[in-house]
Amino acid sequence: MDDKQLENLIVPRFLNYVRYDTESGRQTVKTPSTPGQWELAEVLQKELLGLGLIDVSLTDHCYVIARLPASAGMENKPCIGLIAHLDTASDVSGRNVKPQLIKNYNGEKIDLTGGLCLDPSIEPGLAEQKGKAVIHSDGTTLLGADNKAGIAEIMAAVEYITADSISKQCPQIKHGPVEIIFTPDEETGKGLPEFPLAEIKSVFCYTVDGGPVGEIESECFNAWKADIEFTGKVIHVGHARGILANAALMASVYASLLPRNESPEATDGYYGYYCPMEISGSLEKAVLEVYLRDFDDDGMKRRIAALDTFAKTVEAQFPGGKVIVKTQAQYYNMKSGIDKMPEVMERLKQAVKNSGIEWIQKPVRGGTDGSRLTELGIPTPNIFTGGRNFHSRLEWISVSEMCAACRVIIELIKI
């Protein structure tokens, strides 16, 4: 398959999709959390119908589910699912995204708005794109490759297989049944509780939600969230000596007790972390939200226990103050679930090999929809998209690596 052909299918879609404001809302309970996700979902529903797929639905909670029927004689093959998420993270604005396409990157620094720049001397992956096409943010917003790159790559693969003009050139593309699933609120972790599991026919799935070319992920963090509530003891601050317990200060002291050497910025690989996500409050009441991440179950138990120890430490420093720690699981390491069905990874390895790409297996330092789906009984590893610097104003993506991801998807469908 020709990369130029795939590029023509992927790039226009991607440049269009990132212009939709689908930033999800961490504080919103309903699914989807933002109206922009509906807008993109409706666009994708129409595009899938336009590609000739008949079985295309948009659920009450903004899940797009489409089915590509099996080729003649392949109807009894197991159904596989391809998944990407509609939303972008709220860490950096996703509104009014202005994607910048460089068709022939010269290998030099790329200046962005606000004094930012992409520097190939400190980003080897960018240096490797010299002479190739890259797409980046203008620096005022994130780009949205997480996960609109995955959407564009899946859609391009579907068009490649379904377009009559291409199919006539490639009559060897026979395949079993395929489900295409686009999900809301992956970044907040709130979309999967509404996942229409009963409607899904896939025996196993693949999320297209990873980073550099070749990176395949079949294990991820165990993820917990802690909501920590601080209740102070209030009196006029002019008469506070020996009486006042300042809840805002209690929250700040608690946050400072989180180990700095176990923070996201101090860890990589298989090392977990504590990450304070949001803090607010006043003299009487304050709240602190902390994310806990660890690949190991015992490591997570240690972290949860440490939160209670920190609470007692703060209470001891602020007589009359009270600290309550509430923890909640968000998702679990998907490794054990995927290991139960070895053919899921065997097929993916074969697809990567058939695409002429080097296989790089590594853990996800985060989570995907596949984490929760694997827990629900549908093993779901993760495939690269070609993107870098996700959730930031320095986000960029390699067009050639997007094509590589699309090739892997097509090979998976064929296998």
DSSP codes joined into one string, 294-343: ESSHHHHHHHHHHHHHHHHHHHHHSTT-EEEEEEEEEE---HHHHHT-TH
Please give the Cα distance from 182 to 60 (Å, whole number): 13
Residues 308, 310, 311, 315, CA torsion sign: positive
Beta strands across the sheet bearing 285-294: 273-281, 285-294, 222-231, 322-331
Burial of 322 from C-beta contacts in 10 A (0-12 / 13-18 / 19+): middle
Beta strands across the sheet bearing 134-136: 100-102, 134-136, 396-398, 387-388
Q: How far from the centroid of its chain's Cα atoms is residue 338's Cα?
A: 18
The owner of tokens 């138990």 is 301
Q: Which residues are paired to 57 by β-bridges?
A: 65
Decide if 217 contacts 361 (C-beta within 8 A): yes
Decide if 204 contacts 378 (C-beta within 8 A): yes
Q: Which residues are catalytic?
A: 87, 186
DSSP codes joined into one string, 87-143: -B-SSS--SS---EEESS--SS-EE-GGG-EE-TTT-HHHHTTTTS-EEE--SSS--
Q: How far from the centroid of its chain's Cα atoms is residue 107's Cα?
A: 28
Element (H, E) at 230: strand 222-231
Decide if 291 contacts 275 (C-beta within 8 A): yes
Side chain identity, residue 353: K
- State the Cα torsion 369-200-353-219 to the nearest 10°: 30
Going by C-alpha positions, the residue among 172, 176, 167 that lies closest to residue 74 is 176
Decide if 253 contacts 340 (C-beta within 8 A): no
Please give the Cα distance from 185 to 183 (Å, whole number): 7
Which ranges constitute the DSSP H helices of 172-273?
A: 247-257
